[in-house]
């Protein structure tokens, strides 16, 4: 078991999506009793290796971290109304059922609130297809809400923490 793992699918190093995801995962881990310490898989550093035919130790380590997560926060900016191709390329490397036993939480950061459904219509089904338990609605965060991130995340934690704890107790995690 590795507690909370944060998977960030932004191709830009040091992105807002990364900052939001780390804060969300650390505080959620604390709220659900797994501690504030999380593992981070930042795909911006792995992009060039994801489509390579040669094995990459970094990609393999990242896949192992994601596969072994108790709770996996999957975050991406919204590109063309959905998650990034970088995130999809990484998740496509996982085997069928590769997230079985994992409680996953989808999070999309977007410039326009019209894309808010993308977290439920696109990212959630991908995580479920990989075998994850997704017990809560995903978080669709509009960039204009980032200055009040603490307030937005506080409301989100209040809604999702009990469901995540229940999913963990029900044996989603072996």
Q: Which fold has domain 4-172?
A: Rossmann fold (3.40.50)
Q: Evaluate the CA torsion angle 116, 135, 36, 2 in order and state its sign.
A: negative
Secondary structure (DSSP) of 40-68 = EEEGGGTHHHHT-SS--HHHHHHHHHHHT
Q: What are the pLDDT digits (tens) for 117-163? A: 999 999 999 999 999 999 999 999 999 999 999 999 999 999 999 99
- What are the extents of the domains in the chain? 4-172
Please tell me the distance from the alpha carbon of residue 95 to that of residue 102, in angstroms, as a whole number.
Answer: 14
Average pLDDT, the chain: 93
How many CB atoms are closer than 10 A to CB 51?
A: 10
Whether the full predicted model's pTM is greater than 0.85, yes or no, is yes
Q: List, for residues 22-74, the tens digit of each pLDDT value.
A: 999 999 999 998 888 889 999 999 998 998 889 899 999 999 999 999 999 99
Residues near 93 by Cβ (< 8 Å), separated by ≥ 6?
A: 50, 59, 63
How far, in Å, are 46, 68, 113, 131, 132 from residue 95 at the CA level?
A: 18, 13, 33, 10, 12
């Amino acid at each position: 078991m590795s507690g909370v793992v944060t998977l960030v699918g932004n191709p830009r190093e040091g992105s807002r999506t990364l900052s939001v995801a780390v804060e969300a995962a650390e505080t959620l881990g604390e709220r659900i009793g797994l501690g504030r310490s999380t593992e981070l898989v930042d795909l911006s550093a792995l992009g060039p290796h994801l489509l390579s035919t040669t094995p990459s130790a970094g990609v393999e380590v990242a896949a192992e971290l994601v596969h072994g997560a108790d709770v996996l926060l999957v975050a991406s900016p919204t590109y063309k109304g959905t998650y990034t191709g970088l995130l999809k390329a990484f998740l496509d490397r996982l085997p069928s059922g590769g997230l079985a036993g994992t409680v996953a939480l989808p999070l999309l950061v977007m410039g326009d609130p019209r894309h808010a459904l993308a977290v439920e219509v696109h990212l959630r089904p991908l995580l479920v297809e990989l075998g994850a338990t997704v017990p809560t609605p995903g978080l669709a965060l509009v960039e204009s809400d980032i200055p009040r991130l603490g307030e937005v995340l506080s409301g989100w934690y209040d809604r999702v923490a009990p469901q995540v704890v229940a999913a963990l107790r029900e044996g989603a995690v072996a």
